[in-house]
Structure 1
Amino acid sequence: MDQVWGVRGRTVVRALRLLPPGAATIPGPARTRETACEGYRRALAAHQEVASPRRVDPGIAAAVERQTAAMRELSRRAFPEADVVVPDDAPTPFDATRSERRRQAEVSRAAALRRARAEKAGRPMAASQALENTA
């Protein structure tokens, strides 16, 4: 692919060479502090000696705790049902809705099968009869 693309009059790409799969070399292992050179380790140690540890303002920490407690209280008031202990194996409202939809789908499927069988046998069946047979 030998096209020239330009940005503000400058040439950005002159050509692309597409390599077949697997032709690229796999890079070596990632450099970590353990595999880094000695100069990097010395510079890191010097920086850690000079850098001051983070200091937490007790007033800010107390304010954060008060705010967290207030938010929890507001949440408890807004969603009181969260205080109710529900057994782990109890169905959730989502599960109940899903079960009902599955039941309705199965009823509809059974009615469709009965109607298809009746039509195949040469006995036309009204939709209302198919639904009545499911109940």
Structure 2
Amino acid sequence: MRRDSREPLGLGSAITMMMTERGMAAPAAGGNVLAQFDAIITAAAPELAGHVQAVAFDPATGRLDVTPEAPAYGTKLRWTAPKLIAAANAKAPNANVRTLHILSPAPRKAGPANTPAPDRPAPTATTAPVQGHTPSDGYRRAVEAHRAAAPAPRADTAVDRAVERQTAAMRALSRRAFPEPPEEPAPTAHA
């Protein structure tokens, strides 16, 4: 019976309600999330649309695997993950997406949406050398002021003496463990 005790609930509806209450999803939900991913990403983060691809969805764990086309898009995905999960659950209510797993960046496969238009020429790489810029006078003065204001390193004589004692002790132990062989007398010539 329903919680408000009005009328009995059918078996299918009872199972669906039980699965929803326990965070379970029907197996068909995975295909639904993957099929609607473009609308989900557009709703959550429109700047990522066309740069992120849904690869897999595991309805048992609620994990959605996505692949960005560049590391920068992966970083943006990490920042907008809660919004993306909320949008996925709003667009596909039976999916119950709980986590977003961001895979290594991979370029998107060429398709009708992301192939360059034939009337536009393909971008070419520039061969001009990259010139480094010289720092401004203000920057150089600030660095010099910092170096002048930085305290000089102080030598701790107690630490130096302890290091010398430790080094002497290690040498003594080394000489005891590995004694030098006695020198052999030089051969004398017999006449």
TM norm. shorter chain > 0.5: no
Tell me which of the two structures has the higher relative contact order, counting C-alpha pairs closer than 8 angstroms and 6 or more residues apart. 2
Q: TM-score per shorter chain, which class?
A: 0.3 to 0.5
The structure whose residues are more often helix, as a share, is 1
TM-score, normalised by the number of residues in structure 2: 0.29
TM-score, normalised by the number of residues in structure 1: 0.39
